[in-house]
Amino acid sequence: MALIEPRTLKGFRDFLPAQMIPREKLMETARTVYRRYGFVPIDTPALELLEVLTGKGSEETDRQMYHFTDAGGREVGMRFDLTVPFARFAAQHINELGTPFKRYHIAPVWRGETPQAGRFREFVQCDFDTIGTTGVVSDIETALVIHELLQAIGIDQFQIRINNRQVLAAFLQAQGLENSSTAVLRALDKFEKVGGDQVKKELENAGLNALQADSVLALAAMRGSNDELLSQLATMVTGNEIGEQGVQRLRDLTSALRAAGVPESRYRIDVSIARGLDYYTGVVFETTLGELPSIGSICSGGRYDNLAGLYTKQYLPGIGASLGLDRLLAALEQLGRIPKQPRSADVFIALFDPNGINDYFRLASIVRAAGWSAEVFPESKKLAQQLKYADQRGFRVALIAGSDELAKGTVQIKDLMNKISTEVEWRENPEQLSQALRTMMRLSDDTLLA
């Protein structure tokens, strides 16, 4: 029979253990941090009725969506983000759940877009949202969660960039640009990437006069400490109620971050942050890595006015953000923070004597009871071959016992990094083995995400 060529679809990929171990660890860290703040997990189906998914979608989203007619003749699609399903979910269940409702959702989404370098057709989103409240408390909490999340992942140098759409709205109004807001916000968002000249050209193409275009550029170029920017912005929006509210929210937010002990270097008001999406109405966030700003924002979000208007008349304002898992992993890899060699377990147990299998399992069970993971090699191959395997898999320690040692109730503990061996008695006194392991483990260092 002819073989089928084993391959994945274009734009899709397998995760080998070397990639999946840090991936799982990141997701676990996100879950832990979200839970510490009272967010709870939900899940929704990968497949939904097309009508539900396309409700708000632009033509572009529709084109990117995987959709088909199922066996029952229904038009269905695979979710392309976690926001639309959350809106449908909230409309359906909010009466049972009550508000405020804080949920997180970590799950894959699919987009049939043309694959580019670093873009895939299947990727994981890690969203957290608070709905049913307009208070500044949730603005503050969202920023604190982003901050704690990146710290928990082990990143020191990052900056949360903060802006407020109300401030931008006041600016647009003052310049008579309400009707060009999409073009202006898009141009603002690009400012850092493409520079002032290019942005100016785009703005003029969008119909702005030179004066208007210059005012947008002046806004984007505003720099200063958080306090300096707050007073500049306050002056700019004076007399515009919406704008004043926006500046007050920014002031409350930065003051709360300061009071919470978040270092000043970690958050910065940046009026050029607009976030492309139309639905943000208040605070917006982006987060950049100090060591790799070029990779773009790895955690973004903001406040929106009404989540689920397509599905319910119930007013559900909220705020949320999303960790870009794949982008962050790409960054950590580029920064050399992901070990090349995944360790399948801490302790390797060589299988020497086929009649001693029960003893090897007993050794493994002592190791696990002491808190480490252990792997028993499944076949009695040559020791050199087994140790090569252990080396390739990045084990720290090997336990080696032949028939003689098993008869004596002893085992060789070998540190695979420093090549030191010691023999310990374990059968009568398992604690001696745990103790020796503890000593040896202290000698080897752990890498981030190992």
State which of positions 286-345 bind a second copy (CB under 8 A): 308, 310-313, 342, 344-345
**81, 227, 252, 423: which one binds a second copy (CB under 8 A):** 252
> What single DSSP character describes residue 277?
-
**225, 373, 403, 435: which one binds a second copy (CB under 8 A):** 373
Q: In the bound complex, what is the minimum distance in angstroms from residue 421's beta carbon to a second copy?
A: 21
259 counts as binding a second copy under rule CB under 8 A: yes
**211, 358, 384, 442: which one binds a second copy (CB under 8 A):** 358
For 9, counting Cβ atoms within 10 Å of its Cβ (0-12 exposed, 13-18 middle, 19+ buried), the class is exposed
Q: Cβ closer to a second copy: 70 or 178?
A: 70
Q: Do the beta carbons of residue 257 and residue 285 sit within 8 Å?
A: no
Q: In the bound complex, what is the minimum distance in angstroms from residue 358's beta carbon to a second copy?
A: 4
Q: Cβ closer to a second copy: 135 or 293?
A: 135
Amino acid identity, position 249: R
Amino acid identity, position 247: V
Q: Do the beta carbons of residue 21 and residue 342 sit within 8 Å?
A: yes
Q: Do the beta carbons of residue 287 and residue 299 sit within 8 Å?
A: yes
23 counts as binding a second copy under rule CB under 8 A: yes
The interface with a second copy within residues 386-405 (CB under 8 A) comprises 389, 392
73 counts as binding a second copy under rule CB under 8 A: no
**57, 112, 196, 402: which one binds a second copy (CB under 8 A):** 112
Size of the site for a second copy (CB under 8 A): 105
407 counts as binding a second copy under rule CB under 8 A: no
The residue among 441, 381, 379 whose CA lies nearest residue 416 is 441
**186, 200, 337, 362: which one binds a second copy (CB under 8 A):** 362
Q: In the bound complex, what is the minimum distance in angstroms from residue 423's beta carbon to a second copy?
A: 23
Dihedral sign for Cα atoms in the order 172, 176, 179, 183: negative
**Sheet hosting strand 47-49, strand order edge to edge:** 47-49, 75-78, 67-69
Q: Cβ closer to a second copy: 100 or 196?
A: 100
Q: Cβ closer to a second copy: 279 or 389?
A: 389
122 counts as binding a second copy under rule CB under 8 A: yes
The span from the CA of 126 to the CA of 149, in Å, is 11
Q: Cβ closer to a second copy: 57 or 296?
A: 57
The span from the CA of 389 to the CA of 373, in Å, is 16
66 counts as binding a second copy under rule CB under 8 A: yes
Site string for a second copy, 89-108 (x = CB under 8 A): x-xxx--xxx-x-xx----x
Only one of the segments 11-19, 166-174, 267-275, 324-332 lies at the binding site for a second copy (rule: CB under 8 A); that segment is: 11-19
The span from the CA of 47 to the CA of 419, in Å, is 53
Other residues' Cβ atoms within 10 Å of the Cβ of residue 10 = 8
Task: Give the pair of three-digit tokens for residue 206.
Answer: 């969008």
Q: In the bound complex, what is the minimum distance in angstroms from residue 274's beta carbon to a second copy?
A: 25
Task: Give the pair of three-digit tokens for residue 42.
Answer: 């939900």
Q: Cβ closer to a second copy: 196 or 339?
A: 339
Q: In the bound complex, what is the minimum distance in angstroms from residue 27's beta carbon to a second copy?
A: 10
The secondary element (H helix, E strand) that includes residue 167 is: helix 165-174
- What's the length of the chain? 450
CA 395 to chain centre: 28
The CA angle 414-376-388, to the nearest 5 degrees, is 55
Tell the residue number behind the tokens 């708000």, with chain if given.
56
Q: In the bound complex, what is the minimum distance in angstroms from residue 411's beta carbon to a second copy?
A: 16
Other residues' Cβ atoms within 10 Å of the Cβ of residue 59 = 8
218 counts as binding a second copy under rule CB under 8 A: no
378 counts as binding a second copy under rule CB under 8 A: yes
Only one of the segments 86-94, 150-158, 176-184, 264-272 lies at the binding site for a second copy (rule: CB under 8 A); that segment is: 86-94
